[in-house]
Protein backbone atom coordinates (compact mmCIF):
# COMPACT_ATOMS: atom_id res chain seq x y z
CA UNK A 1 0.00 0.00 0.00
CA UNK A 2 1.35 3.38 -0.98
CA UNK A 3 1.13 6.37 1.35
CA UNK A 4 -1.55 8.93 0.60
CA UNK A 5 0.00 11.66 2.71
CA UNK A 6 3.63 12.53 3.37
CA UNK A 7 4.81 14.68 6.28
CA UNK A 8 8.16 16.38 5.82
CA UNK A 9 10.16 17.38 8.87
CA UNK A 10 13.56 19.02 8.62
CA UNK A 11 14.51 20.18 12.07
CA UNK A 12 18.22 20.77 12.53
CA UNK A 13 19.29 18.36 15.25
CA UNK A 14 22.01 19.30 17.71
CA UNK A 15 22.22 15.58 18.53
CA UNK A 16 24.13 15.08 15.27
CA UNK A 17 27.19 16.34 17.18
CA UNK A 18 29.03 14.03 19.56
CA UNK A 19 28.77 15.90 22.87
CA UNK A 20 25.04 16.78 22.71
CA UNK A 21 24.24 13.27 21.46
CA UNK A 22 26.11 11.59 24.31
CA UNK A 23 24.67 13.95 26.92
CA UNK A 24 21.10 13.28 25.76
CA UNK A 25 21.72 9.53 25.44
CA UNK A 26 23.18 9.35 28.96
CA UNK A 27 20.18 11.25 30.33
CA UNK A 28 17.68 8.95 28.64
CA UNK A 29 19.54 5.88 29.86
CA UNK A 30 19.67 7.27 33.39
CA UNK A 31 15.89 7.62 33.23
CA UNK A 32 15.53 4.01 32.04
CA UNK A 33 17.87 2.88 34.79
CA UNK A 34 15.86 4.55 37.55
CA UNK A 35 12.32 4.33 36.17
CA UNK A 36 12.37 1.12 34.09
CA UNK A 37 14.73 -1.04 36.10
CA UNK A 38 17.43 -0.73 33.46
CA UNK A 39 15.28 -2.09 30.64
CA UNK A 40 15.83 -0.07 27.48
CA UNK A 41 13.76 -0.37 24.30
CA UNK A 42 16.36 0.50 21.68
CA UNK A 43 13.88 1.64 19.00
CA UNK A 44 12.14 3.97 21.47
CA UNK A 45 15.51 5.35 22.53
CA UNK A 46 16.61 5.89 18.90
CA UNK A 47 13.34 7.70 18.14
CA UNK A 48 13.76 9.95 21.18
CA UNK A 49 17.27 10.78 19.97
CA UNK A 50 16.22 11.24 16.33
CA UNK A 51 18.94 8.78 15.33
CA UNK A 52 19.33 5.44 13.59
CA UNK A 53 19.39 2.23 15.60
CA UNK A 54 23.04 1.66 14.66
CA UNK A 55 24.05 5.08 15.96
CA UNK A 56 22.10 4.59 19.16
CA UNK A 57 23.66 1.18 19.79
CA UNK A 58 27.13 2.56 19.08
CA UNK A 59 26.52 5.36 21.60
CA UNK A 60 25.45 2.79 24.20
CA UNK A 61 28.57 0.77 23.41
CA UNK A 62 30.74 3.86 23.97
CA UNK A 63 29.05 4.61 27.30
CA UNK A 64 29.74 1.03 28.34
CA UNK A 65 33.36 1.19 27.13
CA UNK A 66 33.92 4.34 29.19
CA UNK A 67 32.51 2.67 32.29
CA UNK A 68 29.44 4.88 32.58
CA UNK A 69 27.01 1.97 32.22
CA UNK A 70 27.15 -1.81 32.10
CA UNK A 71 25.06 -3.72 29.56
CA UNK A 72 24.07 -7.11 30.95
CA UNK A 73 21.91 -8.18 27.99
CA UNK A 74 22.27 -7.00 24.38
CA UNK A 75 18.90 -8.09 22.96
CA UNK A 76 17.70 -7.13 19.48
CA UNK A 77 14.77 -5.00 20.63
CA UNK A 78 15.70 -4.43 24.27
CA UNK A 79 18.86 -4.17 26.31
CA UNK A 80 19.34 -4.30 30.07
CA UNK A 81 21.70 -1.83 31.71
CA UNK A 82 23.14 -1.16 35.14
CA UNK A 83 25.43 1.48 36.60
CA UNK A 84 28.99 1.30 35.29
CA UNK A 85 32.20 0.79 37.20
CA UNK A 86 34.00 3.87 35.85
CA UNK A 87 36.68 1.78 34.13
CA UNK A 88 37.53 2.81 30.57
CA UNK A 89 38.24 -0.04 28.16
CA UNK A 90 40.98 -0.02 25.55
CA UNK A 91 38.33 0.03 22.77
CA UNK A 92 36.63 3.28 23.87
CA UNK A 93 38.59 5.54 21.50
CA UNK A 94 37.93 3.30 18.50
CA UNK A 95 34.21 3.10 19.33
CA UNK A 96 34.11 6.89 19.70
CA UNK A 97 35.65 7.26 16.22
CA UNK A 98 33.03 4.91 14.77
CA UNK A 99 30.28 6.85 16.54
CA UNK A 100 31.56 10.14 15.09
CA UNK A 101 31.38 8.65 11.58
CA UNK A 102 27.77 7.55 12.13
CA UNK A 103 26.80 11.01 13.42
CA UNK A 104 28.50 12.72 10.46
CA UNK A 105 26.64 10.43 8.04
CA UNK A 106 23.32 11.34 9.66
CA UNK A 107 24.15 15.06 9.61
CA UNK A 108 25.07 14.80 5.91
CA UNK A 109 21.80 13.02 5.11
CA UNK A 110 19.80 15.68 6.99
CA UNK A 111 21.59 18.47 5.11
CA UNK A 112 20.92 16.74 1.78
CA UNK A 113 17.28 16.13 2.69
CA UNK A 114 16.74 19.81 3.58
CA UNK A 115 17.99 20.77 0.10
CA UNK A 116 15.85 18.22 -1.77
CA UNK A 117 12.99 19.40 -3.91
CA UNK A 118 9.61 18.14 -2.66
CA UNK A 119 8.92 16.58 -6.07
CA UNK A 120 12.04 14.41 -5.66
CA UNK A 121 10.73 13.12 -2.35
CA UNK A 122 7.28 12.44 -3.81
CA UNK A 123 8.86 10.40 -6.62
CA UNK A 124 10.51 8.13 -4.04
CA UNK A 125 7.14 6.89 -2.77
CA UNK A 126 5.30 6.52 -6.07
User: Number of folded domains in the chain?
Assistant: 1
pLDDT digits (tens, 9 = 90+) for 37-92: 999 999 999 999 999 999 999 999 999 999 999 999 999 999 999 999 999 999 99
Q: What interhelical angle do 18-35 and 53-65 show, nearest 10?
A: 80
Domain that holds residue 38: 15-107
CATH number, position 27: 1.10.10
Is residue 5 a part of any domain in this protein? no
Return the sign of the alpha-carbon dihedral for residues 9, 120, 51, 109.
negative
SS (H, E, C) 36-104: CCCEEEHHHHHHHHCCCHHHHHHHHHHHHHCCCEEEEEECCCEEEEEECCCCCCCCHHHHHHHHHHHHH
- pTM (predicted TM-score): 0.86
Amino acid sequence: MKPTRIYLCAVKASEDRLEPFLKRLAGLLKHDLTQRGGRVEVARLAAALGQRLATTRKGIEWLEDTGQIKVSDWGDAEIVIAAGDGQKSSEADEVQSELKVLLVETAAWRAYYRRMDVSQIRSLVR
